[in-house]
Amino acid sequence: MIMDRDRHSPEISKEKYIELVNEIHKLDYHYFVLDRPLKSDYEYDQLWNQLIEMEAAHPEWIIEQSPSRRVSGEALASFRKVTHRFPMLSLSNSYSIDDIAEFEKKVKRALGSEDPIEYFVEPKYDGLAVELVYEHGLLKVASTRGDGSVGEDVTHNIKTIRVIPFIIEALKQVPVFEVRGEILIFKSDFLKLNKEQEEAGQSIFANPRNAAAGTIRQLDSKIAAARPLRFYAYGIGQTDGFAFRSQHEIHQTLKKFNFPVASLEDCSVCKSAQDVIQFYEGLHQKRSKLPFEIDGIVIKVNSLNLQNELGLVARSPRWATAAKYPPEQVETVIQDIVVQVGRTGALTPVALMAPVKVSGVTVAQATLHNQDEIDRKDIRIGDAVWVQRAGDVIPEVVGVIISQRPPDSIPFKIPEHCPICGSQVEKPPNEAISRCSNKRCPAILKESFKHFVSRRAMNLEKVGDRLIEELVEVNLLRRFSDFYKIKKDQLLSLDRKGEKSVANILESIEKSRHTQLSRFIYALGIRFVGEQTAKSLSTHYSSFQALSHSTEEELLLIPDIGPRVAQAILAAMKDEDFVCDALELETKHLIFERKESLTGMQLQSKTFVITGTLPVSRDEATHWIEAHGGKVLSSISSKLNYLVVGDDAGSKLDKAQKLSIPILSWEDLQTMVQTSKARE
Ligand code: IVH
């Protein structure tokens, strides 16, 4: 290929590359495990980009432990089975203080001694157990617990978890070192994840454990990479050359190897069952404040000698037990079931209940998800029910107390007409969700506007839900572009709006005009287009206009986009009102930041002619070349720099060949930009 590659070649070498790999591992550890970032996100991104560029320019340098290998990009066809060298055991359960004292008695009886016993106690994480195998300090295999003897190989997903070390320098000489622990999702991340799932029209998870387990069991590691998985280490399997004396020592060593472990406040060495009970109660008090869910504590005899002496009963060790906290389920009554209409028109039944306190929070409402769920649990208005907070977070109706069902309880059916606008409700046969069929339903409009102004979308900070509702009601807000046409007087005429607050609102609208294409695409609320998909679209299309002309084939070439998302985008682009509104925003109201990090000026002052069918549309190709500084011409002359050729090229190809003009495929052109970027 014809390019002056080494023009500005900076000093890069394999040594520099290895340094960069190590630097990024160090930054990840400080950021994810210690929660004390060493550099700003911007500086981190710069280093990350350098790494990717070095690897593109020198694929022969790439090492297995490069952070870029965290996502393979390929989906597996099936899970491989992995046999654990030592079985992964389960725990006997106890539920009360009495049970803890009983456990101590059993231990002493089995040991035939009344000597005091030390215990190591820590949270019982509510996630799923995995084993990580390090060979010579390198993470080689990660597997689920499975039946305890044989689990499934989930290395591809585990590698995406940034808190899990890829390399452990101290273990370079150690053939095998196995670490066991729990994969989980933080409560706050879980709420965000469910919100994103909902926004993207995808099903939501019942609790953080289900979300974590569902993610680990995916064949495609891109899904895990996009989800906020965490890990806490609590034990070991085979550890060549190590002779640990206590559980506490294992904990300390895992910490030294940079694994996240229970913090100093959340674990303890206890000198007696009495101490353990105190810890059990203390952690119960803190339970709702922990960032992750726990369902109790795990009590382990601290000395490994004693553990060996105690051995197993069936699949559970005699030296450990789980002391669980009772799930806090509280009784209340369903007073009514109402239907809410969301942004995608989905009708969600919501139970209104007599307010009760559950795990320290007053609960008066709970989503019942859909008709199938109501039917499955046979929930009726007037029923006495048990409620809990799923994973300490979302109120959930666990079940009906049938023995207390009043004779006049009323079964519930989702209405056939939208409760807001009265239009027909649609329910595709293979979906659980019913939807309002009216695209202009005021409920849908209000929710779409709320999404449009939200922080991660257009960020109209001072435009709150109440204002949107008022504006829709007085007909000042019918389409997205109306936000940018609202006048001061109109706002002042609204209920209780003073000069100052109106000025703030207008200022925040004005500020939002400076935005990025990805935010704008996300804000439009196309079904299934969440933040991530919007970002992918914005790197492949230079404008909404280009996106509005996309074809299914083109969309499917974009990594994150499958047939369902592509169909949803194409369906949105058939809606003339929607497209007109978005184009008006793009051309009249919004000002897009240039995508500095993506587009350099690698094609500065080069001229191109395009012929034949490229994998992307003509518009898109032209925009892309221009964004990189090139110029697209329509006819060939001897001065032309390059001809870009797609399928079924015609006479232009012959002409260019006669004039000895360099010929590139679309892929060649991409590589040319990539490599010249790497070498800049
Ligand atoms: S120790 C025999 N420690 O509990 C030793 N397990 O029933 C068992 N778990 O599947 C492991 N937190 O996923 C241990 N701090 C902790 C734990 C823990 C959660 C889970 C683990 C396992 C189950 C055992």
Cα–Cα distance for residue pair 393/558, rounded to 1 Å: 36
Binding site membership of 124 for ligand 1 (Cβ less than 6 Å):
yes
Cα–Cα distance for residue pair 130/233, rounded to 1 Å: 9
Q: How confident is the model at residue 594 (pLDDT cuts 50, 70, 90)?
A: low
Q: Which domains does the chain have, with CATH numbers?
A: 14-69 (1.10.287.610), 81-324 (3.30.470.30), 327-438 (2.40.50.140), 442-512 (1.10.150.20), 517-592 (1.10.150.20), 607-679 (3.40.50.10190)
**CA neighbours closer than 13 Å in the CB half-sphere of residue 566:** 14
- C-beta neighbour count of 519 within 10 angstroms: 22
Crossing angle of helices 563-573 and 576-584, in 10° steps, is 80
Binding site membership of 213 for ligand 1 (Cβ less than 6 Å):
no
Ordered strands of the 631-633 beta sheet: 631-633, 607-611, 642-645, 663-665
Cα–Cα distance for residue pair 605/607, rounded to 1 Å: 7
**Of how many residues is the chain composed?**
680
Which amino acid appears at position 609 of this protein?
Answer: V
Which amino acid residue places its CA nearest to atom 17 of ligand 1?
124
Mean residue pLDDT of the chain comes to: 90
Active site residue 497: no
**Residue whose structure tokens are 């059916």:** 413
Residue-wise pLDDT for 349-376, tens only, equals 999 999 998 877 789 999 999 999 999 9
Which amino acid residue places its CA nearest to atom 24 of ligand 1?
90
For 508, the 3-state DSSP assignment is: helix
Predicted confidence at residue 678, as pLDDT, reads 41
**pLDDT at 9 > cutoff 60:** no
Looking at the chain, the number of H-run helices and the number of E-run strands are 24, 28
Binding site membership of 125 for ligand 1 (Cβ less than 6 Å):
yes
The whole-number average pLDDT for the span 448-473 is: 94
Residue-wise pLDDT for 510-550, tens only, equals 999 999 999 999 999 998 898 888 988 998 898 999 999 99
Predicted confidence at residue 670, as pLDDT, reads 80
**Residue whose structure tokens are 């369906």:** 571
Cα–Cα distance for residue pair 524/448, rounded to 1 Å: 8
Binding site membership of 165 for ligand 1 (Cβ less than 6 Å):
no
Range from 62-76, 274-288, 393-407 carrying the lowest mean pLDDT = 62-76
DSSP state of 585: I
Nearest atom within ligand 1 for CA of residue 91: 7
Nearest atom within ligand 1 for CA of residue 182: 13
Active-site residue identified among 108, 124, 413, 511: 124
Residue-wise pLDDT for 183-240, tens only, equals 999 999 998 898 888 767 677 787 889 899 999 999 989 889 989 999 999 999 999 9
Most confident of 206-215, 470-479, 652-661: 470-479
Cα–Cα distance for residue pair 219/222, rounded to 1 Å: 9
Closest residue by Cα to residue 452 from 542, 341, 581, 596: 581
Predicted confidence at residue 598, as pLDDT, reads 46
* Among 124, 216, 279, residue to substitute to test ligand 1 (most atoms within 8 Å of Cβ): 124
Rg (CA), the chain: 30
- C-beta neighbour count of 372 within 10 angstroms: 10
Which backbone phi and psi does 619 adopt, to 5 degrees? -55, -50
**Residue whose structure tokens are 């870009």:** 644
**pLDDT at 556 > cutoff 80:** yes
**pLDDT at 604 > cutoff 90:** no
Question: How far, CA to CA in Å, does 388 sit from each of 27, 177, 282, 357, 381?
Answer: 39, 40, 21, 10, 18
Closest residue by Cα to residue 84 from 136, 133, 15: 133
Which amino acid residue places its CA nearest to atom 18 of ligand 1?
124
Residues 6 or more apart whose Cβ sits within 8 Å of residue 601: 628, 629
Report residue 292 as tokens. Answer: 């992750």
For 444, the 3-state DSSP assignment is: helix
The CA 120 to ligand 1 mean position distance, Å, reads 13
* Displacement of CA 201 from its chain's centroid (Å): 15
**Residue whose structure tokens are 């472990």:** 261
Can you give the three-state secondary structure of 52-96, one letter per residue?
A: HHHHHHCHHHCCCCCHHHHCCCCECCCCCEEECCCCCCCCEEECC
Report residue 334 as tokens. Answer: 């369903």
The CA 215 to ligand 1 mean position distance, Å, reads 20
Q: 486 with 476: CB under 8 angstroms?
A: yes
Residues 6 or more apart whose Cβ sits within 8 Å of residue 89: 148, 312, 315, 316, 317
Nearest atom within ligand 1 for CA of residue 90: 7
Predicted confidence at residue 478, as pLDDT, reads 95
The CA 172 to ligand 1 mean position distance, Å, reads 28
* Among 294, 298, 313, residue to substitute to test ligand 1 (most atoms within 8 Å of Cβ): 298
